[in-house]
Amino acid sequence: MRYLFLIPLFLLLSSCSGVRVNYDYDKATDFSNYTSYNYFSDISSGLSELDEKRLMRVLDSTLQAKGYLLAEEPDFFINILSNEYRNAPNNAVGVGVGGTGRNVGGGVSVGLPLGNSGIQRRIQFDFVDAQKDALFWQASSESGFRENASPSVREDRLKAVVKKVFSKFPPERK
């Protein structure tokens, strides 16, 4: 009974600023045909130059751990798109006052927003077949973002995003 109050606290903390990922891919693609990758030469990720370098470093180590090689003439190219947006606060408390009389009723309600609106970052990864010039895999992640975070916090955040995004790459064959 004494730990009952910890359950709502745990749920609140676990729901804050987690990484959410959406995947899409071409079911006809045989992912075993892909062994090498590179980035588009004209990549315009929308990230700062330092964050882009951090992301590519983490992405390289993740893909190389999965057996993919960075090559001049790759099997597929990677494009990265990113944007930031301000999330509207989604919690509100309604305070109401009402009264009733014989056949008369009335009420007043006021919504008070709780919490600040946070900044979210969306990063989209597109994998494009080099021979066919066709998109075959795409993942889009959304997570919290702090503009004033230290470089180590930024890198840890990008590691968490890449880990979550590539936890299901390549997709399992069914």
CATH code at position 48: 3.30.160.670
Render each residue's pLDDT in the chain as its tens digit; 174 residues: 555 555 544 444 444 458 888 999 999 999 999 999 999 988 888 888 898 899 999 999 999 999 999 999 999 999 999 887 776 655 555 555 555 555 555 555 555 555 555 778 889 999 999 999 999 999 999 888 777 788 888 899 899 999 999 998 888 876
Q: Structural domain tally of the chain? A: 1
Residue 97 belongs to some domain of the structure: no
In terms of Cβ atoms closer than 10 Å to its own Cβ (0-12, 13-18, 19+), residue 151 is: exposed
Between CA 144 and CA 86 the distance in angstroms is: 10
Domain that holds residue 70: 30-87+117-169
